[in-house]
């Protein structure tokens, strides 16, 4: 939130920028209240492209999408993951409540094939959510993806590398993900509808990382229990 001083403005014909009305459709809730308040429409922009720029892994960048994916998996249809960088951990997804048989994984080597697969997934009525990992993509391809996603009502979530933050993109929402404090994901909103965001957002994804959320867990621990204080070192 912008923190301008609340002093009344001197002239009635002057408007403060954050009071300007932005006509935008209601978003798809992200499942993170702090993020929802920052996003115009209160969630992922529907029928638009959202870029998640990140170079790190292991900070909760996938957990950010989990609430959306879990909700999408309740309906019949594929949750398409195009060219994920690693193998998704099915037990972890299942424990978050995702119906894993609806996860469709598409491997594609070239950028062109990835973009093509994403467009097919968007055009067909078969998908309830589409997530893609794209690198070295030019504006023309992004533009075509944007045209494809505008025909739908779901958000397209694209992971791209952090250095593409400096190039222009037609995406409606661009978030830069990086590591914050331990267990905290730092989100910089690079682009959104309406006024720009001034401060980064710190999301604690500790809950979605710990197994206490979702289904009851069968503990099979041989040693110490999960959830020990982070500072404690237990080198065997």
Partner 1 sequence: MLWLALFFPDWPLQALFRSQKHEAPLAVAARQRLVALDAAALAQGVRPGQGLADALAVAPALLVRTQSTEAEHAALRDAAGCALRYTPQVVLEADGLLLEIAGSARLFGGTEQLLCRLRTDLASAGFHALTACAPTPRAARWLALASPGQCVDDVEDLRATLAALPLRVMEASERIKALLADSGLRSVGEVMRLPRNGLAQRDASEVRRLIDQALGRQPDPRPYFKAPRYFDSRLELPAPRHDADVLLFVANRLLNACCSRLSAAHAGIEHCLLLLEHEHHPATPLALTLGTPSRDARRMILLVREHLARIVLPEAVSAIRLQATDWISLTGRSDDLFGPQTPSPDRRREACSTLLEQLRARLGRDAVYTMSARADHRPECAQRACEPGAAETGYSSGKRPLWLLSPPQLLKLVNGCPWYDGPVQLISGPERIESGWWDSDGSTDPCGKEALRDYFVAVGRNHARLWIYRDHAPPHRWYLHGLFA
Q: Using the rule CB under 8 A, which residue among 94, 162, 165, 190 binds partner 1?
A: 94
Residues 159/136, Cβ–Cβ less than 8 Å: no
In sequence order, which residues have a C-beta less than 8 Å from that of residue 15 and are 6 or more positions away? none
- Choose the stretch contacting partner 1; rule: CB under 8 A; options: 22-30, 32-40, 161-169, 228-236: 228-236
Bridge-based pairing of strands 103-106 and 78-82 is: parallel
d(CA 163, CA 166): 6
Among 12-20, 42-50, 103-111, 131-139, the segment contacting partner 1 (CB under 8 A)? 103-111
Would you count residue 92 as binding partner 1 (CB under 8 A)?
yes
d(CA 62, CA 69): 10
CB of 69 to partner 1, least distance (A): 11
> Is residue 107 within the footprint of partner 1 (CB under 8 A)?
yes
Q: Is 198 left (phi over 0), alpha (psi -120 to 50) or beta?
A: alpha
State the binding string over 133-172 for partner 1 (x if CB under 8 A, else -). Answer: --------------------x-------------------
Among 71, 99, 150, 195, binds partner 1 (CB under 8 A): 99
Number of residues that make up the chain: 236
Give the whole-angstrom CA distance, residue 19 versus residue 106.
43
Candidate list 29, 77, 170, 194; residue touching partner 1; CB under 8 A: 77
51 bridge partner residues: 158, 174
Report 117-136 residues binding partner 1 (CB under 8 A): 117, 120-121, 124-127
Q: Tokens at residue 135, please?
A: 């690198």
Buried b (16+ CB within 10 A) or exposed e, 139-165: eebbeebbebbeebebbbbbbbeeebb
Binding to partner 1 by CB under 8 A, coded x per residue (else -) over 32-71, reads ------------------------xxxxxxxx--------
Taking the least distance from each CB to partner 1, the nearer of 100 and 111 is 100
Stretch that binds partner 1, among 15-23, 84-92, 139-147, 195-203 (CB under 8 A): 84-92
* Residue 196 is a binding residue for partner 1 (CB under 8 A): no
Residue 1 found at the interface with partner 1 (CB under 8 A): no
- With contacts defined by CB under 8 A, how many residues of the chain interact with partner 1? 73
């Amino acid at each position: 939130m912008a923190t301008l001083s609340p002093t009344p403005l001197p002239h009635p014909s002057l408007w403060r920028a954050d009071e300007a009305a932005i006509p935008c459709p209601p978003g798809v809730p992200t499942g993170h209240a702090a993020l929802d308040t920052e996003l115009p429409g209160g969630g992922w922009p529907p029928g638009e492209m959202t870029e998640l720029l990140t170079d790190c892994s292991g900070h909760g960048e996938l957990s950010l999408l989990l609430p959306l994916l879990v909700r999408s998996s309740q309906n019949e249809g594929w949750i398409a993951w195009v060219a994920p960088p690693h193998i998704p951990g099915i037990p972890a997804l299942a424990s978050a409540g995702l119906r894993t048989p609806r996860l469709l994984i598409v491997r594609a080597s070239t950028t062109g094939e990835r973009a093509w697969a994403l467009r097919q997934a968007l055009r067909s009525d078969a998908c309830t959510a589409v997530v893609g990992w794209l690198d070295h993509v030019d504006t023309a391809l992004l533009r075509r993806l944007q045209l494809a996603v505008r025909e739908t009502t779901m958000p397209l979530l694209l992971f791209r590398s952090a250095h593409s933050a400096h190039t222009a993109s037609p995406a409606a929402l661009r978030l830069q993900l990086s590591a914050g404090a331990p267990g905290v994901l730092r989100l910089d909103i690079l682009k959104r509808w309406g006024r720009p965001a001034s401060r980064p957002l710190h999301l604690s994804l500790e809950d979605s990382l710990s197994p206490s959320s979702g289904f009851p867990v069968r503990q099979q621990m041989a040693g110490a229990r999960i959830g020990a204080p982070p500072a404690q070192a237990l080198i065997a």
